[in-house]
């Protein structure tokens, strides 16, 4: 069946009530001419292969003609969706009304203080505060970010780091959204912010135990790779900071932190497949860091300190799903590591949390989170019980070392997020907070959540987490939004969203396709969706779509898809391979010009991505990338209705990738389905700053899907 266009569908749905003015407005909207980007001949050659990239010129944010094109696309979006402006506003207010504005985090205790993050009604940004010794003590405001953000169209603070003596706090600020943070230091006794500033950092920092020495990570100006560790002495200019370590390998990044025991400073170096750590006594910040275990390609490990031992989560000796080992402080080379928890083929070991009396292990089995608790003395050994199949549970904010309380977060597709304190000795739990859904209309009993399994073309079973209103009939008429990501081993766990209720309560089914490329079913699930098996990610998503249609959950006229960043690559590949399955697709900040980007090592993140996508300087990887790269595979066919978003200052996926892709789609696509591009001219990869500004972007997305379904109220 030929799909109805975005505008004509809305008009047909309401044909009986369209008056002459509405009909005239709709006709006027249909006559709007989409912008057209100029084509400037540009041939890119590699391995004897020539690619025509006539939109390459869009790769210049300083070019006035580029900005003009992006603004014309924004204007086109505004005009084509003007009939939903009121609906977007309504959706925004509806979503906002479910959120408790005067809200606060569960306080956590660290080094003599309770720390709290809270929001006030009508304010977009958090207030960070603390109370000394007791929650009844007087509140001390560390930062009111609302005041700090005034005068900035974008504002992001990160890396808050209080010194061991509780007198100083370091923090990072980004006002452009390029993730280039400037570190500042505040005196918590006088509330004075020191004049010294440290630019071009990750924002994070780590105090040595003397409370005057601060370590931080610097970024490369051009590639934004985190490549240098510096030592700063409070009260001195940043220009005099000492360079401690440079990560010379362009495929690696670096960072620094302090162990939970507070005994060691740790420099980490990381790539997709390999890791390395260096350690230094935190009481001796002027000393030399010692390599824990020299990097060996393919060896991944992370370290935690306890007593006179280091505990190591590692894939040593082909432990694909990782195992736990330990070694003494004095002898850290892997030849002396001793196994604590062996490798298991069916259980993926994700992380550990160390307490004075307990070891807590986060695992994943058959896609489900599990939390295993055992005493160091071996007298207790058990799992926390979870009953659903569409939940997410993980330890959180366990900063205290000498405590019997494990704090963890829990939620499911139909259960609002909870913060729970669990007494590991008595096995009693206390729900410290469950996210409130305001408005009085939400009742978990009205929704059904389930996990189903689709079969891929190669016979692999693909898990799908779903939620919908009870009473849903499998007759193919339901609108369904299918979400996916599938890269970097990142698992898209099922989680509750009060915002999502705006879709569910209008009849949508929401489904997460846990495709290969993530780690939902363990490390091998990731390995089978990267490099020369990357296409499994795309075909898995398509096979899930076919399954959902075959089972009657939806149909091609009502199936929608969404993904962002590497998930935007997924969207781009899917619409090239199976456009007939979807009525509408949103690709947010999509990574769609894979070959060109991966050949340009001046672009942020490129060299560090070779282990994920392959190095196209090698012909085998070049050919494979080119075979799926969305931009290189646009063809003369009918594409779904599409909405593409980006940010001018995006440091992860440069704005020109989606801009070029949309320009090429406009040139080549057939049919009347609409194609929209919107560029946030003041933001980057994460979109707008502020807790409610982001909701406006969600409202745009939901209005796009709902209007295609003829739902405008």
Cα gap 566→432, rounded to integer Å? 35
**670 bridge partner residues:** 638
On whether the CB atoms of residues 415 and 494 are closer than 8 A, the answer is no
Burial of residue 192, with CB atoms counted within 10 A of its CB: 0-12 exposed, 13-18 middle, 19 or more buried: exposed
On whether the CB atoms of residues 176 and 649 are closer than 8 A, the answer is yes
Residue 361 backbone class (left: φ over 0; alpha: ψ -120 to 50; beta: rest): beta
Residue 217 sits at φ, ψ, to 5 deg, of -110, 125
Burial of residue 424, with CB atoms counted within 10 A of its CB: 0-12 exposed, 13-18 middle, 19 or more buried: buried
Nearest one of 419, 401, 400 to 409, comparing CA atoms: 419
Q: How is 296-338 classified by DSSP, letter by letter? A: -TT--EEEEEETTEEEEEE-TTT-TT-EEEEEETT--SGGG-E
Burial of residue 93, with CB atoms counted within 10 A of its CB: 0-12 exposed, 13-18 middle, 19 or more buried: exposed
Nearest one of 182, 178, 161, 179 to 170, comparing CA atoms: 161
Secondary-structure percent of the chain, ordered helix, strand, coil, rounded to 5 = 25, 35, 45
Q: Is 60 a catalytic residue?
A: no
- The catalytically annotated residue of 174, 241, 632, 650 is 650
Cα gap 439→379, rounded to integer Å? 48
Helix (H, G, I), strand (E, B) or coil at 483: strand
Cα gap 562→584, rounded to integer Å? 9
Packing angle between helix 693-708 and helix 85-97, nearest 10 degrees? 120
- The catalytically annotated residue of 412, 465, 565, 629 is 565
> Which residue has tokens 């569910």?
504
Q: Is 650 a catalytic residue?
A: yes
Q: Is 685 a catalytic residue?
A: yes
What's the DSSP call for residue 126?
Answer: -
Cα gap 324→326, rounded to integer Å? 7
- The catalytically annotated residue of 205, 685, 689, 707 is 685
Instruction: Give the tokens for residue 413.
Output: 């597709």
Positions marked catalytic: 565, 650, 685
């Amino acid at each position: 069946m030929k799909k109805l266009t975005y505008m004509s569908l809305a008009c047909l749905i309401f044909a009986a009530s369209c008056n002459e003015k509405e009909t005239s407005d709709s006709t006027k909207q249909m006559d709007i001419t989409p912008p057209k980007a100029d084509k400037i001949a540009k041939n890119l050659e590699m391995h004897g292969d020539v690619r025509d990239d006539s939109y390459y010129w869009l790769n210049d944010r300083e070019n006035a003609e580029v900005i003009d094109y992006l603004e014309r696309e924004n204007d086109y979006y505004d005009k084509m969706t003007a009939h939903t402006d009121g609906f977007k506003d309504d959706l925004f207010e509806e979503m906002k009304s479910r959120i408790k504005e005067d809200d606060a985090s569960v306080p956590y205790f660290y080094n003599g203080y309770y720390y709290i993050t809270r929001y006030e009604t009508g304010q977009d940004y958090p207030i960070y505060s603390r109370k000394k010794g007791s929650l009844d003590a007087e509140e001390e405001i560390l930062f009111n970010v609302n005041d700090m953000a005034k005068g900035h169209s974008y504002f992001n603070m990160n890396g808050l780091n209080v010194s061991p003596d509780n007198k100083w706090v370091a923090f990072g600020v980004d006002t452009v959204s390029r993730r280039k943070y400037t570190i500042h230091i505040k005196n918590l006794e006088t509330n004075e912010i020191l004049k010294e500033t440290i630019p071009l950092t990750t924002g994070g920092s780590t105090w040595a135990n003397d409370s005057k020495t601060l370590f931080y990570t610097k970024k490369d100006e051009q590639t934004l790779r985190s490549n240098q560790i510096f030592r700063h002495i409070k009260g001195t200019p940043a220009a005099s900071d000492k360079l401690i370590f440079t990560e010379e390998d362009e495929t690696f990044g670096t960072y620094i932190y302090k162990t939970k025991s507070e005994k060691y400073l740790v420099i980490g170096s990381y790539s997709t497949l390999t890791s390395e750590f260096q350690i230094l006594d935190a009481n001796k910040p002027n000393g030399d860091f010692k390599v824990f275990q020299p990097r060996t390609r393919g060896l991944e490990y992370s370290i935690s300190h306890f007593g006179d031992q280091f505990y190591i989560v590692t894939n040593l000796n082909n432990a694909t799903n990782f195992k736990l080992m330990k070694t003494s402080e004095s002898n850290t080379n892997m030849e002396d590591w001793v196994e604590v928890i062996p490798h298991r083929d069916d259980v993926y070991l994700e992380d550990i949390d160390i307490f004075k009396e307990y070891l807590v292990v986060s695992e994943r089995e058959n896609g489900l989170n599990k939390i295993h608790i055992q005493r160091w003395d071996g007298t207790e050994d058990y799992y926390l019980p979870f009953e659903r199949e569409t939940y997410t549970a993980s330890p959180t904010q366990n900063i205290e070392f000498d405590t019997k309380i494990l704090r963890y977060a829990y939620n499911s597709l139909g259960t609002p997020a909870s913060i729970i304190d669990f007494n590991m000795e008595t096995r009693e739990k206390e729900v410290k907070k469950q996210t409130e859904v305001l408005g009085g209309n939400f009742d978990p009993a009205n929704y059904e959540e389930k996990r189903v399994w689709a079969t891929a073309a190669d016979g692999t079973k693909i898990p799908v987490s779903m939620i919908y209103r009870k009473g849903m009939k499998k007759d193919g008429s339901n609108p369904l939004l299918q979400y996916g990501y599938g890269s970097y081993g990142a698992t898209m766990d099922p989680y509750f969203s009060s915002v999502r209720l705006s879709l569910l309560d209008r009849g949508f089914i929401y489904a997460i396709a846990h495709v290969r490329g993530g780690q939902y079913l363990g490390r091998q699930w990731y390995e089978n969706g990267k490099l020369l098996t990357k296409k499994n990610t795309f075909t898995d998503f398509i096979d899930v779509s076919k399954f959902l249609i075959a089972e009657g959950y939806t149909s091609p006229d009502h199936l929608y898809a969404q993904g962002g960043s590497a998930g935007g690559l997924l969207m781009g590949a899917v619409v090239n391979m199976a456009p007939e399955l979807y009525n509408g697709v949103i690709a947010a900040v999509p990574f769609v010009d894979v070959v060109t980007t991966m050949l340009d090592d001046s672009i942020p993140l490129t060299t560090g991505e070779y282990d994920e996508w392959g190095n196209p300087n090698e012909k085998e990887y070049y050919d494979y990338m080119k075979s799926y790269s969305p931009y290189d595979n646009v063809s003369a066919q009918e594409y779904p209705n599409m909405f593409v978003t980006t940010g001018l200052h995006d440091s992860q996926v440069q704005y020109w990738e989606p801009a070029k892709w949309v320009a090429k789609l406009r040139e080549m696509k057939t049919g009347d389905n609409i194609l929209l591009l919107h560029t946030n001219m003041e933001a980057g990869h994460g979109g707008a700053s502020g807790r409610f500004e982001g909701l406006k972007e969600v409202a745009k997305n939901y209005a796009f899907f709902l209007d295609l379904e003829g739902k405008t109220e």
